Amino acid sequence: MNIDSVDFFYASMPEVTLEADGSQDALLVRVTAGGHIGWGECEASPLTSIAAFVTPRSHGVCQPVADSVLGERIDSPADILRIARNVGRNSMDLLQAGHTWSGIEIALWDLLGKAKEQPVWQLLGYERTYAKLPYASMLMGDTPQGTLDRARLARANGFRAVKFGWGSYGTGTAADDADHVAAAREGLGDDAQLLIDAGQIWGDDVEAAAARLEALEKAHATWLEEPFLPHAYVAHSQLAGRARTVGIAGGEGAHTVHMATNLIDYGGVRFIQVDAARIGGIGASKAVADHAVQRGVTYVNHTFTSHLALSASMQPYAGLADHRICEYPVEPKPVALAISSNHILLDENGEVRAPDAPGLGIDVDLAGLVPYLRHVEISIDHERVYTSPDVPHRVSEVV
């Protein structure tokens, strides 16, 4: 079968704030081929991602993503890899191409799984799935008391692992951050995993990050996530060498396979976190998972948005028994929840699994997304080159 169409649906909250919450808007991707439909999601700026699909070519290796996708054969996972390589070559100098392709690639896996009546994880070569321990992914409280309250709430909701990050963490003194970490541990109790996310706050300042290690070790934190920019491999390695019980985690900012594998090979991370909707899709994520297994590093999914994105992020390591921890978007904005009519829920053991259903196993609900949809038109020399697909009853418009 051939790829007939690729459509984008831009949705957002009525007001998008400055908080570090990527669930405030979304770019949903629909791909059709051979009478089948697949859905994916791009984790990037929606409008620039759409533009990368339709932009006129600048030269031979700065072509629109559309030129490498539309009309291509899609009958097997090998076809997805072939198209990925074409996008990488033909759109080499179009830096947003990787993010745009990520959502399309996810949709192709979903479509292929539905066409073959197999879950994506099975198409990836896994024979079965293993339960994952979800961690509630939360922003740090405004005060240590706020962090304490949020930790207690997460425990009351059945989570045995919780991650706190961003907010004021890293912006004040090490003593201020230590108070938040201690409050988080107090709220969680002694038997839950505590994870801390610095959100790249220190750039490549190893001393600033190292000043937080004592408090993290005292609180028995599992990891310190993204202390530096994702490509600051030397800084990661130096901090990893100074950490004792706390592992260094990172990788969500990787938008190529090599950025992630370099963090493993040269950055010394113990946990590699990959976002399928950024790195180039599910196939690219699986390549990183395979590399992590070979190097003895724990693979972790990254997602903070919808359950469609959550399912996509779980597929690459669904069949790895020893890679258990799983990021779970516990406080997504309503627009993220509206994307699908079904969600991946915690079972009686407080664990989650990748869906055992064709494709990604997530039912996209365009009708539920209608209140959040935005209309997009792109024109060049007064000629329209892109317009949003028709969905009845849109309530907002962006031109």
3-state secondary structure the chain: CEEEEEEEEEEECCCCCCCCCHHHEEEEEEEEECCEEEEEEECCCHHHHHHHHHCCCCECCECCCHHHHCCCECCCHHHHHHHHHHHHHHCCCCCCHHHHHHHHHHHHHHHHHHHHCCEHHHHCCCCCCCCEEEEEEEECCCCHHHHHHHHHHHHHCCCCEEEEECCCCCCCCHHHHHHHHHHHHHHHCCCCEEEEECCCCCCCCHHHHHCCHHHHHHCCEEEEECCCCCCCHHHHHHHHHHCCCCEEEECCCCCCHHHHHHHHHCCCCCEEEECHHHHCCHHHHHHHHHHHHHHCCEEEECCCCCHHHHHHHHHHHCCCCCCCEEEECCCCCHHHHCCECCCCCCCCCCCECCCCCCECCCCECHHHHHHHEECCEEEECCEEEEECCCCCCCCCCCC
- Average pLDDT on 260-270 reads 98
Claim to verify: residue 109 and residue 127 sit in the same structural domain: no
Establish if 355 belongs to a structural domain. no
Claim to verify: residue 16 and residue 82 sit in the same structural domain: yes
Q: Render pLDDT for 103-121 as a digit per residue (tens, 0 to 9).
A: 999 999 999 999 999 999 9
User: Tokens 């045995």 correspond to what residue?
Assistant: 160
**How would residue 399 be classed by pLDDT, with cut points 50, 70 and 90?**
very low
* pLDDT tops 90 at residue 228: yes
Q: So what's the pLDDT on residue 310? A: 97
**What tokens does 20 get?**
């570090």
Q: So what's the pLDDT on residue 19? A: 83
Establish if 396 belongs to a structural domain. no
Residue 94 belongs to what domain range? 3-117+366-387
Q: So what's the pLDDT on residue 161? A: 96
Claim to verify: residue 113 and residue 140 sit in the same structural domain: no
Claim to verify: residue 83 and residue 127 sit in the same structural domain: no
Q: So what's the pLDDT on residue 393? A: 55
- 92: domain CATH number is 3.30.390.10
Claim to verify: residue 185 and residue 200 sit in the same structural domain: yes
Claim to verify: residue 160 and residue 305 sit in the same structural domain: yes
**How would residue 394 be classed by pLDDT, with cut points 50, 70 and 90?**
very low
Q: How far apart are CA 34 and CA 2, in angstroms?
A: 6
Q: Render pLDDT for 34-76 as a digit per residue (tens, 0 to 9).
A: 999 999 999 989 999 999 999 999 999 999 999 999 999 999 9
| Exposed / middle / buried, residue 29 (Cβ in 10 Å: 0-12, 13-18, 19+) | buried
High-pLDDT (> 90) share of the chain, %: 92
Instruction: Return mean pLDDT, the chain.
Output: 95
- Average pLDDT on 215-232 reads 97
Establish if 300 belongs to a structural domain. yes
Claim to verify: residue 144 and residue 222 sit in the same structural domain: yes
* pLDDT tops 60 at residue 396: no
Establish if 281 belongs to a structural domain. yes
Claim to verify: residue 54 and residue 92 sit in the same structural domain: yes
Q: How many domains does the chain have?
A: 2
Claim to verify: residue 155 and residue 101 sit in the same structural domain: no
**CA 265 to mean position of chain CA atoms:** 22
Burial 285-323 (b: 16+ CB within 10 A, else e): bbbbbbbbeeeebbbbbbbbbbbbbbbbbbbbbbbbeeb
Domain boundary among 316, 337, 358: 337
**How would residue 12 be classed by pLDDT, with cut points 50, 70 and 90?**
very high
Claim to verify: residue 47 and residue 129 sit in the same structural domain: no
Q: So what's the pLDDT on residue 398? A: 37
Claim to verify: residue 195 and residue 293 sit in the same structural domain: yes
Establish if 380 belongs to a structural domain. yes
* pLDDT tops 80 at residue 352: yes
Claim to verify: residue 161 and residue 308 sit in the same structural domain: yes
Q: So what's the pLDDT on residue 197? A: 97
pTM: 0.95
Q: Render pLDDT for 144-203 as a digit per residue (tens, 0 to 9).
A: 999 999 999 999 998 999 999 988 999 999 999 999 999 999 999 999 999 999 999 999
Q: Render pLDDT for 292-301 as a digit per residue (tens, 0 to 9).
A: 999 999 999 9
Establish if 104 belongs to a structural domain. yes
